[in-house]
C-alpha cells in the first residue's frame, strides 16, 4: 500500500467515524456500506421507520419475525465511496 492510498484510507476511516457519531444522534445505525451497479450506498437501520409498538428486542416466540427489515433503507447511491460518505454525512447534518 503506497502513502497516497494510506492517506485516502485514513481520511475515509475518519469520515466514517464522524458519520457513525452523527447517525447515532439521529437514532440510525450503519447496517452496511456497499458497492452495487448503481454505485456506492449506505444501508441504514432506522428504528423510526418501524411500525409503532414494534419490540426491538429478539423475540424467542417469533424468531423468524421480519419486521426489523422495515427499518432498513438506502437513501441514494453515489459514484465514489468518498462522495457517498461525504454526502450522507451532509444529509444527516441538515
DSSP characters for 14-68?
HHHHHHHHHHHHTTEEEEEEEEETTEEEEEEEEGGGSPTT---S--TT-TT--GG
Domain total in the chain: 1
Q: Which domain holds residue 86?
A: 3-93
Rounded-to-integer distance, Cα 43 and Cα 55, Å: 21
Which H or E run contains 78? Answer: strand 72-78
Stated pTM of the model: 0.80
Rounded-to-integer distance, Cα 59 and Cα 71, Å: 17
Q: Which three cell numbers stand for residue 64?
A: 423468524
pLDDT tens by residue, the chain, 94 residues: 677 778 788 999 999 999 999 999 998 999 999 999 999 999 999 988 876 655 556 566 665 567 778 889 999 999 999 999 999 999 999 8
Amino acid at each position: 500500500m503506497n502513502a497516497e492510498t494510506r492517506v485516502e484510507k485514513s481520511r475515509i476511516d475518519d469520515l466514517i467515524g464522524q458519520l457513525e457519531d452523527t447517525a447515532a444522534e439521529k437514532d440510525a445505525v450503519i447496517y452496511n456500506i456497499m458497492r452495487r451497479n448503481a454505485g456506492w450506498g449506505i444501508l441504514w437501520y432506522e428504528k423510526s421507520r418501524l411500525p409503532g409498538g414494534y419490540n426491538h428486542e429478539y423475540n424467542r416466540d417469533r424468531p423468524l419475525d421480519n419486521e426489523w427489515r422495515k427499518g432498513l433503507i438506502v437513501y441514494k447511491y453515489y459514484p465514489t465511496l468518498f462522495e457517498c460518505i461525504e454526502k450522507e454525512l451532509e444529509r444527516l447534518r441538515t
